[in-house]
Every structure is written in C-alpha cells, then in structure tokens.
Amino acid sequence: MAKIIGGITTSHVPAIGSAIARKVQHEPYWKPFFDGFIPVRQWLAEVKPTTVVVVYNDHGLNFFLDSMPTFAVGCAPEYRNADEGWGIPQVPPFPGQLDLSWHLVESLVDEEFDPVTCQEMLVDHAFTLPMALLWPQQDWPVKVVPVCINTVQAPLPSARRCWKLGEAIGRAVQSWQADERVLVLGTGGLSHQLDGRRAGFINKEFDLKFMRSMSEDPTWATRFSTEDLVEHAGTQGIELLMWLTTRAALRGEVRKLHENYHIPISNTAAGLMLFENR
C-alpha cells in the first residue's frame, strides 16, 4: 500500500525563479526566504519520497480564460514548462506517475468529483518553482502527479470543497496498491493582490492566523466564503486553497515540523510549512 509521508506548503511567485537564475539567494532581501528551505531539504533527504502530488494553480500557460476547469489532474508520461514571459529559465521535464494519476482520477470520480484529465499538460511556475526549491539540483528524484485548482476565474471552488478534495486525494493515495512514499506539495499564496485599488495588499495577521490553524484547527479557513477569503488575503491570496487541499490529504497523526514566513517577496507574503504524516 502507498503511504503519504507528509505535506509541504509554500509560495511560488515568479520572482523566486529570477532570484535562482541570478544566484542572489544569499542577498539580504532573499536570504530569509531561501534559508527556510534548508530543514525541509534535510527532511526530504531522510524520508526519500518517491512520488509527489503537486496541488497548484495554472496562470494561463496550460489553461486560459476560455477554458478553465475547476479541477484538473495530469495523466501524462512527463510534464514540461515553457516561457511564461517572466524570463525564468526552463527546467528539466518532470516524469509523470501514470499509475497514480489514473487511480486518482478514478477514485475522484467515484467520490463524485469530475476532474478534467490531461494526457498532455504544460506546468507553469506554480509547479516548477516549488519543486526547484525542494530539489535545487533539478534532477527530480521523484515522479509527479499534477492536480490543478482554478483560483483565476470565477466561479472558484469554495474552501470547503477544496478541503473535501484533499480528503479524497488522501483516501485515493491510501488505497493505491503500490509500495510508494508519497509527498503532497501545495503551492500558492499567502496574502497578496497584484491589481486593482488594493494592489500590494498584504495581511500578515491573517497569514499567521491561517498558518497556525493548519496545525491547531485545520478546517478553520473552510468557514469563510470565497469573498471573505479574498477580503482577508487579497485577490491572489485565494491561492491558500492549495494549502487547505494539501493539509486535508494528510491522514492519521499529523505533526508540524517546520515553518517559515517572510515578507515582502515581490509584493507577496511568502509562507512555508512542513508536516509529517504518521
């Protein structure tokens, strides 16, 4: 039987990729952010996951406004990225875990979710940057399953619906007949808004309360409507939905091992959490 060994949640703004490309990780502006990943990489070296379910949102590279699924699952043998216009170097392709992809799709449909299945799929910075932060050498010692959630175009899935999706992902992995160690990686957020009258908005108080709830009261944010979450975290801060989905996928005894919070990162509050799933 497959086992979920833990979950990691982290931010994914394009400026991170630019910092990696320019090799400025140790400059004062960036060092508190990049140093936060040192304990996470140490943990990964110890537990050695074999598969990563990446819960993320697409920003127009694979899906655009004329075709935006609420939930999509990658079912491809590999996943590549492409030029998004940010000047971020492309990374090596990610090998897909096809067996888990199709098992996940079938399990989600059985639980009355209706994901779009993608046998060809480009992945953008929301996927590539967190993976590069976890494995800076970019030699990808794991296979991946992309799970994409719409946080771009209304109507968005509710926090409660995303929590249920995460629970269903956890059950699917647990029922997968494979001797695999699975990591769930949720990317996005935290509070930020890139446009409109509140451009540059960051809500540190809400971010820290949300991060605390992830270990003390995980379903806390599901009490808020989408509009409430946007008010508290900003238009793009709704990406915390990927954090909720990831946390919900962790089953059994869950222990927080590490966290980091740093602002500003390109007008974004950058968070990081590591959970061990026993």
Which residue segments constitute the domains of the chain, with CATH numbers given? 3-265+273-277 (3.40.830.10)
Strand 3-10 relative to strand 270-277, pairing: antiparallel
Catalytically annotated residues = 125, 192
Instruction: Please check whether residue 2 is in contact with residue 173, taking contact to mean a CB–CB distance below 8 angstroms.
Output: yes
- Closest-CA residue to 222 (of 234, 231, 233, 210): 210
Phi and psi based region of residue 247 (left: phi greater than 0; alpha: psi -120 to 50; beta: remaining): alpha
Average pLDDT score over the chain:
94
Between 85-89, 186-190, 196-200, the lowest mean confidence (pLDDT) is in 196-200
How far apart are alpha carbons 56 and 130 in whole angstroms?
Answer: 10
Identify the pLDDT of residue 222.
97
> pLDDT value at position 138?
96
C-beta neighbour count of 207 within 10 angstroms = 23
Mean pLDDT of 29-51: 97
For the chain, what percent of residues have pLDDT higher than 70?
Answer: 100
